[in-house]
């Protein structure tokens, strides 16, 4: 009888541990816009992504844009170097910041295919039709920062991982139904009164050690976007 009771207790403890493991996935870094390369940040460049991979990043964020002829590319803001959206050829034939290699969808596809453990985090575009048109084969490895509750729930239903943008705050979100949020940590140092089960924090010039400090403050922080490696 005692043996059976002991085994039963062990099974209950094991079940609890498995449940905790499911509820609290591993905290991890996201290479912000590919991560900084030399002194340049937000480049979304091939060199930045390769540098992130060399530093064993499991998640790499790219800002998505559509060229004037309808091609998906990685770029933060056309206003950085163009007055309006360029064509795909114009974009691909110009070095980012005069130094770095641009990324279009074929390069994204090549990177994801060559690195099966890598996940892509997206920003700027959360239109479900555009996301699914280009990233459908990798949906289980894609996290989309969403800018409306409609996009959030539609992409979630389609099988994508979703993060609701709270910068700027969006009243369209139905907070009680949304679990995953992104926050600028500089504007919300205390997450104790925030709704949601998972948070991804970003800010300015974050290092790995800064990220580790943020992870220690709240177990709900699932991701921190980092710019510099250590």
Please give the residue range of the domain that contains residue 199: 27-226
Q: pLDDT tens-digit profile of 39-96?
A: 899 999 999 999 999 999 999 999 999 999 999 999 988 766 777 899 999 999 999 9
4: in domain? no
Per DSSP, the three-state class of 42 is coil
Q: pLDDT tens-digit profile of 172-192?
A: 677 778 999 999 988 877 888
DSSP-derived pairing of the beta strands 142-146 and 103-104:
unpaired
213: in domain? yes
For Cα atoms 132, 79, 126, give the angle at the middle one, nearest 5 degrees: 20
Residue 169 has a pLDDT of 64
18: in domain? no
Residue 11 has a pLDDT of 46
Percent of the chain with pLDDT over 70: 86
57: in domain? yes
For the entire predicted model, the pTM comes to: 0.87
196: in domain? yes
Instruction: Give the chain's domain count.
Output: 1
Region 213-222 average pLDDT: 95
9: in domain? no
Q: Please report the DSSP string for 56-94 in residue order.
A: T-SEEEEEEEE-TTS-EEE-S-GGGT-SSPPPHHHHHTS
Q: Domain containing 215 — which CATH number?
A: 3.20.20.190
Region 117-123 average pLDDT: 98
17: in domain? no
């Amino acid at each position: 009888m005692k043996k059976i009771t002991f085994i039963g207790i062990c099974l209950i403890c094991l079940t609890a541990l498995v449940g905790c493991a499911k509820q609290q996935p591993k905290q991890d870094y996201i290479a912000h816009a590919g991560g900084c390369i030399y002194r340049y940040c937000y480049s979304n460049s091939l060199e930045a992504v390769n540098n992130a991979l060399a530093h064993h990043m499991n998640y790499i964020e790219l800002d998505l844009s559509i060229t004037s002829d309808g091609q998906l590319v990685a770029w933060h803001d056309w206003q950085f170097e163009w007055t309006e959206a360029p064509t795909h050829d114009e974009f691909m034939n110009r070095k980012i910041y005069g130094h770095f290699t641009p990324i279009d969808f074929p390069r994204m596809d090549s990177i994801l295919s060559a690195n099966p453990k890598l996940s892509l985090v997206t920003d700027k575009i959360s239109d479900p039709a555009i996301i699914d048109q280009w990233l459908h084969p990798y949906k289980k490895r894609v996290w989309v920062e969403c800018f409306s509750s409609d996009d959030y729930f539609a992409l979630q239903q389609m099988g994508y991982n979703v993060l609701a943008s709270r910068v700027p705050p969006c009243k369209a979100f139905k907070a009680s139904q949304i679990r995953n949020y992104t926050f600028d940590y500089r504007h919300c140092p205390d997450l104790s009164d925030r709704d949601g089960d998972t948070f991804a924090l970003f800010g300015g010039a974050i290092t790995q050690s800064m990220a580790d400090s943020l992870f220690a403050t709240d177990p709900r922080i699932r991701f921190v976007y980092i710019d510099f490696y250590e």
